[in-house]
Each structure stands twice: as C-alpha cells, then as structure tokens.
A and B are shown apart, each in its own frame.
Chain A
Amino acid sequence: MKSFKILAGIMSVVLAIVIPGCSDEAPSDLPKSDLGSNTVTKYVSVGNSLTAGYQSGGLYEDAQMYSFPNIIAQQLSKAGASLGKFEQPIWGNPGSPDATGKASRYELISLEGPVIGPRGVAAGTGTNTALARPYDNLGIPGAVLFDFLDTTDFITKATARQNPFFPHVLRSATFGKSIFEQLRNISPKPDIVTFWLGNNDVLGFATSGGANPNAPTSAAAFGALYAQALDSLRAALPNAKIVVANIPDVRAIPYFTTVGPAVAADLKGAFAISYQKHGTNGPGDGSSYLTEQNPPLLILPSSSYVTQIGTPTGKYYSSNNKPVPPGVDTTQMLGLNYLNPIPDALILDSAEQATAANAIAAYNLTIAQVAAAKNAVVVDINAIFNSIKKDGYNISGEVYTADYVSGGLFSLDGVHPSSRGAGIVANEFIKVMNSKFGMHIPYVDISTLPGIPAPLAKYAGKKFMPQLTASASKNIRDLWK
C-alpha cells in the first residue's frame, strides 16, 4: 500500500510534465493582499464600547484581543502595513469592576435556564498602563459624541457618571485632555482613523426604556457636534484616511428583541398587559395594553420580572431600591392589573421606539453629509445590522443571527458584539477600505475567532429566556449614564 502511494506520487510528477494543464503550481488568480498604493504606518480608532472591545457587560482582555480595531490592525499588518504593536488599554481578566469592585463581566454560568450573570469574582487590573503615549485604541465605553472634543477634567466626569473607563483609557491629561487631543498627540500621525461615535447618544435613552435620559441627544445638537468633530479631525490630519460608521437601529439588537417576543408568544386572544407609558410613573392608564398585536420591546433585564407577571409583586422596585410610585399597588397582579403595571423603564413602547428611530435616522443623515464634506468614507453598519436581523449572516457554512446568545453575533449583554460579531464588523470596515482606498486587505476568517465560553451544564428549554441577575441588569444600564 505504501509503495503504491510512492508510485502514485512519482506518476503524478511524471504526468504533470507530460499532460498539458496538469501541474502542481498554485493558481495564478488567487487574491493578492496589499495596501495598493497606500502606505500605512499608524492606525488609531476612536469610539465607545463597540470600539473598545467591551463584551458581556465588561471590558476584559479576552474580549479586547478581538476588538474590531485590533482585528483591523492585524489584517492591515497582513496586507503589509508596518504598524508595530496596536496598543490597547487592556483590562486584565476578568476585567472591569461594577460599583462594588467585583468584575462586571457576565458569563454563561449554566445552560440550564440559562443562568447568565457576573460570577461575583474580584475585578482585574490594567496591564498596559505604563505605555508612555496615548493608546492606539481610544474607544471608551460609555462615551457619547460630545466626549470626543470635551476637555473638561475626565476624572471628574468619570466619577460623576460612575464610569471607570475614561481614566482607564485617557489616563493622564499630559497625553491630552480629550480623546481628540490624545489622538492628535500620537506619533507618527495616523494614516487611518476609524471613528464610530454616536451610538450612546440614543442607546442611553433606549436601554433605560426611555427613562434615563428621557430623550436622545437632539438631532440639531448631534449635527453640530458631529460637524465639529470631523472638522477638528480633518484639520489635524489633512491626509489621513478617515472611516466613520453610522448608528445601527437599536431595535435590531437582542437587548430589545429577546424578552418581548417570548412574552408576546404568551399574549393570546384577549390577554393583555398593562404598562406605564413613556414619561409616566404611576398606574397604567387603563386603556393602553401590550397585546399580541402590539408586542412590546421589553429590555433584556426585564426578564427577571416578566416571569412574575400575574403575581402580586413589587420586586422591580425593591431590587432597584426605588420607592413604589404613588398610585401603584404592588399587592395587585403585576401587569394584569393596571394598578401594578410593567414599569416604563423596562419597556420601549411604540412612542419611544419612534423617538429612537427618528433620532437614528437624523444622526445617520448627518453622518453621511458631514463625512462626504470632510472626505471621510462611511461604513453603513445600520444597513448591515438590519440585514443580519432579517436574514442572518452566512459565512463558510456557519450561520449567525441576531438572536440572543444562540445567534452567536452578540455577546451576553445583548448590545455588544461577540468576538465573532466584532470580526464581522471589522470585515465590513475592511470591505469599505478595500473598495474606497484601493487596498486588498485580507478579511478575518470568522471561523478562527472564539465563541462564548460555555459551561458543560444541562439546558432543558429550547428558547434562550435569560434569567439575568439583578446586579447584571443594573450594570447594563449604568454603562450609558
């Protein structure tokens, strides 16, 4: 048998010479990987948690290694860019802390349920804090558009917002007082900048059920801030390639699309649920209900409470240390009696959905117009997320969907992409860079990126209806303050 294999090998070589068109040479039409006529020696990313590589309710090294800017940097290097190391503000595992100093990152604790939440272990510490220059990844979880140019003391700001990330990323005013100043102080000057801010200008409103803040950043303010931001960027870096991304529709992310449909599936016939309308804080109005025809967008943390629909409970108020509002009677059945409605903060009702959608439409119009005026190119992430929500994302035999956990694209907080989701985001940026700048950057092979670490526990149900712990739900909302 072995000698046949040797003989077969010899015959292959002989016949390769004798028979035309038969050779061992690699095909000549394989894709090439290069930067076209561009030289790239520095790439810097600006943004929020999506840029930072924040996942599953925390910033931690295992996730930051797969931040979309870090993936882009690796792929740029494969195409011949001499970037050196792409420096990130690494937060050692298990990552950033919650208000009590424990790691805020959620994990899949059990597939039974499933149970998803923080493990209650001590938070990690920064591991790259001695870097004597600004980081290349300037994504700051919780940053809004305003923060890009804001030069007020970021430590004071961070304390006020209970956000540990500004001091972690910006570290010292000597590197620059704002994100922009630090970017400007990076040497050599960036040839490529990715700029993706503005998500939190609407997400804070949406993830708090339209309660805190009670409106997104206004379209006018957003327009002014965006123009200022790109003006400054373009003036500081007249020759850089600037790639911006627009704002995805919040209604496409599992934070909003998971619990609602699960509850709606139980809303049959005349069965209806009373809820607080936007801006109200008392009993339901006795005439507005969530029904099979009017399914709610319930936020992910509401999963801790919707399982109690129909029981007399004030768990939401007690768990969140909130006083029971006047007129609300927690001895009544939750949701089934208008005197004990589903709290406004757990629901994005139709009016709130429209507010968020209008804000995003206005933002994205601004982004397109300002980018065109400042010679920046746009990644239409909004269109991509909508398409994924509708049809999923199919690559190399693997199918991703926008479903919570099972879809593979989002991390356990239902807002931020998983490592593979970040790979898809990176590839969309690369696609735009390749087509607009004449580059041939290889795309990241999504199949090589890690998934969500899974416990080997049992899981009985078919649907992922998460039981988020109370502290987990609080951490999610705190991020947008």
Chain B
Amino acid sequence: MLKVIISCFLLFISTHVFAGGFQLNEHGARAMAQGGAFAARAYDASAIYFNPAGLGFQKQNSVYVGTTLISPTSIFYGPTNLNLGTKNEMVDQLFTPINLYASYRINDDINVGIGVNNPFGLGTEWEDGWSGKFITQKVDLMSFFFSPTVAYKVTDQLSVGAGFNYVTGDVTIQRYVSDPFDPHGKINLDLSGTGAGFSFGLLYKITEEFSAGASYRSSIKIDADGTAEFTPNRSIYPGGDAAASLELPATAFVGLAYKVMENLEIEADYQYVGWSSYKELKIEFKKDASSTVSPKNYEDTYIFRLGGEYTMDALQIRFGYLFDNNPVTDTYTEPLLPDADRHGYNIGFGYKVSDNIVLDVAYLFLQFSDRTVTGTAIDFDGVYQSRANLLGINFGYSF
C-alpha cells in the first residue's frame, strides 16, 4: 500500500529542489512555519526527518504529506574584475520538493515509520550564452531520501529513534566548454547514483515545560554515473560515459523547547551542517580517462532557528526566524550556487479540519545578504543579490 502511495506521489509531482549550500530544510509545513525549530518536539510524522525519537511519543498511526513551492530569484552584477557591473538575472524557476511520512504504532513503546523527501538539491539557470557560460548555464540536482525509521519510548520522558537512509541522486549540468573553437562546444551531463546512511535521535522531556531534542544524520556518499553529451559532437571531446561522486554532508540538530503558557510553545534549535565534505566536484570522462575538477572547499556551518506555536482551539498560529550561515567562502562563491548568509522569516498556521485531519500551511521569506566577492578562484567577481519565497502545504491524517 505504502509503495503505491509513494509511487503515485512521485508520478504526479515533478520534483526539483532548490536550497542553499544545496541543502533543503523545509520538510513539513508545521516545522517550517516555526523557523524549522522542531527537534525538541517533533510532534508529527516529519519527526522522521527532524528527530526520529519524536515518533516514540506519538500515540496514533499517521500519514503526513506535503510539498513546498519554492520561487528563488538571483541577480549577479559583474564580472566586476572586468570593470563591468552588468546585471544578470537568473532564469525564473519554480521548485516543488515533496515530503511524505507514514508512521505505524506497533505497541505502546515502539513506532515505526518511513519518510520520503528531498533534503538536498539545487536548480540554477542563467541566460544562454551569458558571461559565466563556461562556469554554468544550468544545473539541476535532486535527491530522494527513503528513510525507514524506528523509535522506542524508553520512559515517559525519554524516547530514542534511529533510521536508515537510502538515497537516490540525479544531477544535470550544462555549460559551455572552454575550448579554442567557434562555436564553443556545450556539454550536457546527466548522472545518477545511489548511496546510504543512517540517522538517530533522542528526545527528553525534562519537565512539564521543557523538552530537549537532538538528532544526527550521517553524511552520504553518492557515486553517480551517466553520460556526457557534447554539442556539436566533435570527436576531440570526451563524450560518452562519465562519472562523479558527491558526499552529502552530515547534519545535526540540538533543540530546546519551552511551554511559555498552556497554549504557547517556543523552541530554539541549533543545526550543524558538515559542509566541509564538499571539497570539489570532480567529473571523470571514461573515453579518454580525463577529468575536470572544480574546487568548492565548503566549510562546516550552522543554522540558528527560533519558532513558536500559539493554539486557539482548532487553529494554531505559527511564526519563526532562522539564520543560515552559508558554507561558501568568498573565494569559491560562484553562480552555480549563488550563496550568501540567509535570514528567514516564517509565518503559518495549522487547522484541524476534523478529529484526525490537519492542514498545515507555512510561508517563508528567505532574504540573502547582498554578497560582494572579489578575488574569486574562477576570476568571476561581482555582487550577488538573492532571495526566495517558499510556501509549504501539508495534510496530516492520523488514525
């Protein structure tokens, strides 16, 4: 049954993902509306992502499904190292990552569940033939995490959980080839691969008012292969089989939640992201055993999250804020992923349609700090201005 639900879902929703770094953190509208600060409560089945231990305290079977509409915009002014301030606008795209969770209560103490979501991905596209065409024209990266999870309620105060992550990844890279010819060759790389990792978490209800949660998801190495297609197809190009590997970073949450009054809860989370795993993107071409290497040298980073929820009968009003410290140093900032520190402003609501159906809606405005980079490794300096609007919608059904 579950398989059928999943496959139907995948059929109907075209899934591309945008995120920074290329991590995506919106995996459930209830959490999203609270700045993603959810690890110390993890009240719904999205606990499979935020903190598997959260399932241990849930008293019903449930299904929680949703999507996030993401509309990013980005402008690059430059390259300033050529004394140019040309305005380049990223092509408008709409991304719709999904999330789907199901949990089943085996007994009073043990819950199992499975999650499907897209924790990593990106999509950027620039006008064809623009100044940065040798760096990137278009990139689409998407990943699916399939996460069977089990949680065990150790005591009424403590729950632990663990999960396995099976990951599929697909990437498309298009750019022009730095060759001496006219017209320049254009490469289209299509690669896909799989990987596996694990996650675990614990959730501790310290007092009636305070609860604390922590979770960890391991890094996952994806070995991808596929084809490199060149246009025009000159035989000097290494067209044909190609391969790359990518290590998705580990991430961890630590959160503390506080019940301010009977109908108001707030939570603060610290999220660590082990981006230093992303040292370079190396693409190997089988035809002539050659390779191209783009150094990335990302750094480990963190996201600070703050959020709350105010309950009025069937309606819950939610709000939040996040600060996402970007992992890319100035030297390696590039239009492939025009990253910058982000401030996120969240609002949303939850509405109890009936005893066992909820509707959650979240809105997030991501404001990227203007980023001026000079001395970049690829000699492509300039100013990046980015922002994104995100709208999350989830339905929950418990039984």
Contacts and interface: CB of A to CB of B under 8 A. Distances in A.
> Do the two shown chains form a genuine complex with each other?
yes
Nearest to B84: A442
Contacts of B69: 1, 4
Contact of B132 (A33, A397, A442): A397
B28 interface: no
A405 interface: yes
A440 B234 contact: no
Contacts of A442: 82-84
B288 interface: yes
A354 interface: no
B67 to A, nearest CB: 11
A31 B94 contact: no
B71 A407 contact: no
Interface in B359-399: 363, 365, 367, 369-370, 372, 378-380, 383, 385, 387, 389, 391
Contacts of B180: 405-408, 418, 451-452
B157 interface: no
Contacts of A427: 82
A458 B182 contact: no
Interface in A13-37: 15, 19, 21-22, 24, 26-27, 29-33
Given A33-B83, A398-B134, A454 B235 contact: no
A112 to B, nearest CB: 8
A456 interface: yes
B71 A8 contact: yes
Of B82, B92, B372, B378, most A-chain CB atoms within 10 Å: B82
B307 to A, nearest CB: 18
Given A15-B365, A15-B367, A397 B235 contact: no
A397 B367 contact: no
A284 to B, nearest CB: 37
Interface string B91-134: 01010000000000000000000000000000000000001111
A104 B89 CA distance: 44
Nearest to B288: A462
B232 interface: yes
Contact of B372 (A29, A395, A418, A441): A29
Of A7, A444, A451, most B-chain CB atoms within 10 Å: A451
Given A397-B378, A408-B179, A453-B182, A31 B387 contact: no
Contact of A458 (B131, B134, B235): B235
A140 to B, nearest CB: 27
Contacts of A405: 180
A396 B83 contact: no
Nearest to B368: A22
Interface residues of B, number: 48
A451 B182 contact: yes
Contacts of B71: 4-5, 8
Contact of A394 (B82, B84, B233, B379): B379
B182 A31 contact: no
Contacts of B352: none
B134 A459 contact: no
Contacts, number: 133
A11 interface: yes
Interface residues of A, number: 51
A443 interface: yes
A445 B383 contact: no
A12 B390 CA distance: 11
A447 B369 contact: no
Given A1-B69, A19-B367, A27-B372, A397 B135 contact: yes
Of A11, A12, A397, most B-chain CB atoms within 10 Å: A397
B181 A454 contact: yes
A434 interface: yes
B245 interface: no
Nearest to A79: B83
B178 to A, nearest CB: 4
A12 B80 contact: no
B82 A459 contact: no
Nearest to A399: B178
B399 to A, nearest CB: 31
Of A30, A33, A396, A451, most B-chain CB atoms within 10 Å: A396
Contacts of A445: 79, 82, 84, 131
A5 B367 contact: no
Contact of B77 (A26, A32, A434, A456): A26
Interface string A443-479: 1110110111110101110100000000000000000
B160 to A, nearest CB: 39
A30 B383 contact: yes
A398 B71 CA distance: 30
A175 to B, nearest CB: 35
A115 interface: no
Contacts of A453: 181-182
Given A1-B69, A8-B71, A111-B236, A31 B378 contact: no
Contacts of A33: 83
A12 B387 contact: yes
Given A27-B383, A33-B83, A408-B180, A4 B367 contact: no
B367 A22 contact: yes
Contact of A31 (B73, B83, B389): B83
A397 B84 CA distance: 16
Nearest to A22: B367
A445 B382 CA distance: 14
A14 to B, nearest CB: 9
A418 B276 CA distance: 40
B345 interface: yes
A30 B77 contact: yes
A396 B335 CA distance: 11
Nearest 8 Cβ contacts at the A-B interface = A30-B85, A8-B389, A408-B180, A397-B135, A454-B181, A451-B182, A397-B134, A443-B82
Given A398-B178, A445-B84, 8 more contacts: A4-B71, A12-B365, A19-B343, A396-B79, A408-B180, A454-B183, A459-B235, A459-B236
10 contacts: A19-B365, A27-B77, A30-B77, A30-B85, A31-B83, A397-B134, A427-B82, A445-B82, A454-B181, A454-B183
Interface of B: 69, 71, 73, 77, 79-85, 87, 92, 94, 131-135, 178-184, 232-236, 288, 343, 345, 363, 365, 367, 369-370, 372, 378-380, 383, 385, 387, 389, 391
